[in-house]
Amino acid sequence: MPKKETKFDVIISGAGPAGSACATFLARKGIKVLVLDKARFPRDKTCGDAISGKSVSVIRELGLEKEIEKNYHAKIYGVTLSSPNGNMFTVDIPERQGLKSYGYCARREVFDNIVFQTASKEKNVTIMQRTQVTGLRIEGNVVKGITATSLENNEALEFDAKIVVGADGAHSPVASALGVNKVENEHYCTAVRAYYEGIGGLTDKIEIHFIDEVMPGYFWIFPLENGMANVGVGMLFSDLKKRNINLKHAMHNAMHNNALFKKRFANAKQAGEIKGWTLPLGSKRRKLAFNGAVLLGDAGSLIDPFSGEGVGNALTSAKLAAPVIEKALRTNDFSENTFKEYEENVWKELGPELETSYKMQRLGRYKWLLNFTIGKAARKKELRDLIAHSLVQEGAMKNLVSPLGLIRMFFL
């Protein structure tokens, strides 16, 4: 990029899945974009590395599935769930149109780099890595650009933009500058994870275990390539504070002392350090549309409050933002009113699911209910089928946690 080029139609802060996918969607519509990221890719992102069916559908739209299959990944065909009293059951993701459905587990260092490289190959995309966004240039109440610092030479930088896209993650500087990044303990989760090799009994299913050590919360084992696995635990900020839990200790305790896992972890070796990070949850709706700016992914607090899944929602928000940004450029109208269409589309597409997940998160606080439901599903195929169906059919989970759905579950 010539050094003096400082004016852009669209500037995206953050080149994670949300930012890189949005850049690709825009570039393919012929829109020129500048993407800034403080990291240099490939970079790690602390995560469980589960790439759900929802992510897969956007990945397919971007044409990335083959690239993912060429790189390290595990294909995931189902879920194993267990309750605090040790009840356990496994469901396959039901087939769609006679074909086996699956998701992936892929290290974010690998997955994000694929999405990033795809964006950077687009001729309309200019990338600046190792460039930290420090704030917004706001005139009146309209976003006019961003300020940044080069991490290579400490140079202070300023760029003008018609539209700024905040896709810069859980601690988004763009969301902070817009005044919407307030941490609320009931709507933020923290989680830690580490990689392991040599865990016994890994399958092609992800494992979610509701265990006493991290109630309410869960312990996960997500299989990766070559017998490796991503293992972690997560809990709400508010519960961590109340129970005064150290997540790293809780995770070790679960692996080495819980009857379900101690044999499986007897010969397991940790590869790399345990890392933790924050999850801004979609249980509280954050404002996503501003005069001259929009927020995507974690910057928009879009993580599923029950499962902790955020990649699919980040990719979906990118996909929904692109046509509205295109329209704003076409009509030369960068007002909050224009970008409200994006915000409304996000809540239309993701809102019902986020609300259902919030209900499930609250129901998941009741140990007896988890013991009962998971115990019953372990015995009854009809309930397992109902849960499997709810996992994949959009909107179906809502029926499962509705009063009627709960009654049905009791009497199945």
Ligand X SMILES: Cc1cc2nc3c(=O)[nH]c(=O)nc-3n(C[C@H](O)[C@H](O)[C@H](O)COP(=O)(O)OP(=O)(O)OC[C@H]3O[C@@H](n4cnc5c(N)ncnc54)[C@H](O)[C@@H]3O)c2cc1C
Residues near ligand X (CB under 6 A): 13-19, 36-39, 45-50, 52, 132-133, 167-169, 173, 191, 193, 232, 277, 279, 297-299, 303, 308-312, 314
CB 233, min distance to ligand X, A: 9
Do residues 74 and 105 lie in contact, with contact meaning Cβ atoms separated by under 8 Å?
A: yes
CB 309, min distance to ligand X, A: 4
Which residue has its beta carbon closest to ligand X? 310
Tokens of 339: 């970008």
CB closer to ligand X out of 161 and 314 = 314
Q: CA-to-CA distance for 8 and 24, rounded, in angstroms?
A: 16
CB closer to ligand X out of 38 and 319 = 38
CB closer to ligand X out of 189 and 324 = 189
CB 14, min distance to ligand X, A: 3
CB 170, min distance to ligand X, A: 6
CB closer to ligand X out of 32 and 171 = 171
- Comparing C-alpha atoms, which of 191, 198, 238 is closest to residue 49? 191
CB closer to ligand X out of 19 and 78 = 19
Say which amino acid occupies 186: E
Pairing status of strand 188-197 against strand 50-51: unpaired
CB closer to ligand X out of 149 and 335 = 149
CB 116, min distance to ligand X, A: 8
CB 331, min distance to ligand X, A: 27
Neighbours of 201 (CB within 10 A): 10
Residue with structure tokens 């669209």? 10
Q: CA-to-CA distance for 77 and 55, rounded, in angstroms?
A: 15
Tallying the residues shown for the chain, one arrives at 412
CB 172, min distance to ligand X, A: 7
CB closer to ligand X out of 45 and 384 = 45
Do residues 110 and 131 lie in contact, with contact meaning Cβ atoms separated by under 8 Å?
A: no
Q: Any residues with CB less than 8 A from the CB of 330 and at least 6 apart, and which?
A: none
CB closer to ligand X out of 115 and 409 = 115
Q: CA-to-CA distance for 61 and 320, rounded, in angstroms?
A: 13
| 148, β-bridge pairs | 133, 157
**H or E stretch covering 369:** helix 367-379
Distances from the Cα of 15 to the Cα of 106, 118, 131, 321, 343, angstroms? 18, 11, 11, 15, 21
CB closer to ligand X out of 47 and 289 = 47
Say which amino acid occupies 274: I
CB 279, min distance to ligand X, A: 5
CB 42, min distance to ligand X, A: 11
Using alpha carbons only, what angle is made at residue 163 by residues 157 and 169, rounded to the nearest 5 degrees? Answer: 70
Q: CA-to-CA distance for 373 and 82, rounded, in angstroms?
A: 10
